[in-house]
């Protein structure tokens, strides 16, 4: 079988399936561009919740509930650290209007049964002494953690290689078929790979695959910064803030190595530019609530693309062809949803049954009519021959990452 995409989601699926005895080739895509590298690594089902994306909450909570075991398993299988941090998240408001917004959020969280402790300014600063005295109040959210996504990604990749995953350099642009059965993929350089099962896990690029109906996945640009504290004090937990209507998050890494500040949310397709305005606003907002960040060195500016779907929830399970499996559209929650996605997709490939928790997230929810669903991947089937392919296109440009 082939896994298209070597980010966190693709690597975790490939690792699980290789561990179950499958022969897995993973086409890694453009690793420098993967959201898995760019992301801040928040595991935040509570503070990332949006009023319109409530249907996603059970899946997000299920995945967080698996994270400790998942990270321990990855560390054990790879011999590498994953950088899981179980310190809580503090979400703060900068001015009176921001506090009104945070209060609305708190009321929403109460209504749907999510725990967040209200903090007056003094208590927030006692918990996080680097917070500005200007901060008007906040929420303490025990359930929102973080992980060093770059460490985790490296560890899952190593675990996969140990389990036998074969990594293929290249960028898949075309899905090949034989009748109603998937038969493999074509890479941008024209290389054809045969497989009876193809798992699409290429994030924001899933919507560009040819040979199948276009998947409803769009790139949502995010600019993000990495700061080097240079030995200065750094926040002891993730700080999210609403500052004069704009939102920012500041995620420290253990050991004072780096502080991640993110992120813009821009519907600009695969625009790759780091802009002065994007960097300015992130630094301004971080400094408003954590003045110390102004003293840090600007170490890296990066652009990434979240895979957005029409409801910004993932697309999991059967695609339009027999043997075509989808694991994309994770939007703002790809790092968080990695364990539950890997479990659900590997179970689907191995048994033909999508676990209950993932059933609300199939592609079918976007269909206006309901054609006969394709059969699940067959454990015994072999790749059909005589595939056809469109001419290859070139792989996408790498995003701008500037090491400063």
Q: How far is the CB of 222 from ligand GLY (least distance, A)?
A: 5
Cis peptide before 263 (omega within 30 of 0): yes
Q: Could you give the 3-state DSSP secondary structure of residue 245?
A: coil
Nearer to ligand GLY, 35 or 182 (CB): 35
Strand order across the beta sheet in which 172-178 lies: 172-178, 181-187, 192-194
Q: How far apart are the first and last CA of the chain?
A: 40
Please, which of residues 73-112 interact with ligand GLY by CB under 6 A?
Answer: none
As separate numbers, helices (DSSP H) first and strands (DSSP E) second, the chain gives 8, 21
Mind spelling out the 3-state secondary structure of 261-330?
A: EECCCECCCCCCCCCHHHHHHHHHHHHHHCHHHHHCEEEEEEEEEEEECCCCCCEEEECCCECEEEEECC
Q: Which of 263, 303, 344, 363 binds ligand GLY (CB under 6 A)?
A: 263
Residue with structure tokens 């299920």?
62
Q: How far is the CB of 245 from ligand GLY (least distance, A)?
A: 17
Nearer to ligand GLY, 146 or 346 (CB): 146
- Contact between 29 and 172 under an 8 Å Cβ cutoff? The reply is yes
Nearer to ligand GLY, 235 or 376 (CB): 235
Burial class, 385, CB count within 10 angstroms (exposed 0-12 / middle 13-18 / buried 19+): exposed
Number of residues that bind ligand GLY (CB under 6 A): 7
Nearer to ligand GLY, 42 or 49 (CB): 42
The two structure tokens encoding residue 131: 């917070």
Q: For residue 298, which of 261, 263, 265, 264 has the smallest C-alpha distance?
A: 261
Please give the Cα distance from 99 to 101 (Å, whole number): 5
Nearer to ligand GLY, 234 or 238 (CB): 238
Nearer to ligand GLY, 22 or 306 (CB): 306
Q: How far is the CB of 48 from ligand GLY (least distance, A)?
A: 6
Residue with structure tokens 């929102």?
144
Q: How far is the CB of 21 from ligand GLY (least distance, A)?
A: 34
Q: Which of 306, 338, 340, 396 binds ligand GLY (CB under 6 A)?
A: 306
Residues in the chain: 404
Q: How far is the CB of 238 from ligand GLY (least distance, A)?
A: 11
Q: Which residue is nearest to ligand GLY (CB)?
A: 332
Q: How far is the CB of 203 from ligand GLY (least distance, A)?
A: 12
Q: How far is the CB of 332 from ligand GLY (least distance, A)?
A: 4
Please give the Cα distance from 346 to 353 (Å, whole number): 10
**Considering the rule CB under 6 A, would residue 41 count as an interface residue with ligand GLY?**
no
**Considering the rule CB under 6 A, would residue 49 count as an interface residue with ligand GLY?**
no
Q: How far is the CB of 264 from ligand GLY (least distance, A)?
A: 8
Q: How far is the CB of 302 from ligand GLY (least distance, A)?
A: 12
Nearer to ligand GLY, 307 or 392 (CB): 307
Nearer to ligand GLY, 53 or 192 (CB): 53
- Contact between 185 and 27 under an 8 Å Cβ cutoff? The reply is yes
Nearer to ligand GLY, 36 or 82 (CB): 36
Q: Which of 4, 42, 156, 342 binds ligand GLY (CB under 6 A)?
A: 42
Nearer to ligand GLY, 165 or 261 (CB): 261
Please give the Cα distance from 398 to 174 (Å, whole number): 19
Please, which of residues 207-226 interact with ligand GLY by CB under 6 A?
Answer: 222
Q: For residue 223, which of 402, 10, 42 has the smallest C-alpha distance?
A: 402
Q: Which of 239, 332, 363, 377 binds ligand GLY (CB under 6 A)?
A: 332
Q: How far is the CB of 15 from ligand GLY (least distance, A)?
A: 23
Q: For residue 22, which of 334, 274, 348, 340 has the smallest C-alpha distance?
A: 348
**Considering the rule CB under 6 A, would residue 262 count as an interface residue with ligand GLY?**
yes
Contact set with ligand GLY (CB under 6 A): 42, 48, 222, 262-263, 306, 332
């Amino acid at each position: 079988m082939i896994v298209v995409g070597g980010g966190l989601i693709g690597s975790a699926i490939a690792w699980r399936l290789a561990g179950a005895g499958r022969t897995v080739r993973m086409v890694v895509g453009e690793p420098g561009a993967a959201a898995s590298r760019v992301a801040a690594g928040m595991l935040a089902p509570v503070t990332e919740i949006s009023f319109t994306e409530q249907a996603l909450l059970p899946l997000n909570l299920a995945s967080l509930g698996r994270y400790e075991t998942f990270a321990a398993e990855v560390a054990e299988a790879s011999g590498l650290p994953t950088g899981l941090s179980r310190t809580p998240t503090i979400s703060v408001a900068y001015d009176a209007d921001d506090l009104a917004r945070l209060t609305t959020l708190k009321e929403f969280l109460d209504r749907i049964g999510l725990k967040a402790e209200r903090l007056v300014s003094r208590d927030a600063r006692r918990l996080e002494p680097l917070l500005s005295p200007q901060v008007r109040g906040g929420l303490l959210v025990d359930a929102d953690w973080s992980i060093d996504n770059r460490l985790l990604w490296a560890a899952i990749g190593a675990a996969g290689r140990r389990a036998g995953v074969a990594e293929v350099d290249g960028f898949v642009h075309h899905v090949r078929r034989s009748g109603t059965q998937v038969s493999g993929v074509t890479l941008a350089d024209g290389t054809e790979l045969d497989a009876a099962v193809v798992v699409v896990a290429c994030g924001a690029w899933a919507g560009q695959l040819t040979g199948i109906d276009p998947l409803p996945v769009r790139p949502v640009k995010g600019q993000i910064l990495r700061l080097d504290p240079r030995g200065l004090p750094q926040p002891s937990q993730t700080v999210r803030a609403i500052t004069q209507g704009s939102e920012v998050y500041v995620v420290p890494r253990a050991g004072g190595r780096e502080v991640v500040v993110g992120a813009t949310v821009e519907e600009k397709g695969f625009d790759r530019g780091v802009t002065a305005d994007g960097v300015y606003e992130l630094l301004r907002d971080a400094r408003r609530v954590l003045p110390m960040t102004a003293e840090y060195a600007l170490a890296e500016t990066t652009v990434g693309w979240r895979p957005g779907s029409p409801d910004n929830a993932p697309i999991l399970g059967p695609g339009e062809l027999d043997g075509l499996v989808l694991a994309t559209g994770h939007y703002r929650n790809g790092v968080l949803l990695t364990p539950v996605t890997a479990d659900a997709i590997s179970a689907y490939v191995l048994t033909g049954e999508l676990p209950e928790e993932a059933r609300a997230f199939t592609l079918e929810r976007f269909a206006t009519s309901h054609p006969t669903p394709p059969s699940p991947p067959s454990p015994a089937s072999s790749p059909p021959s005589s595939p056809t392919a469109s001419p290859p296109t070139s792989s996408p440009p790498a995003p701008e990452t500037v090491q400063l």
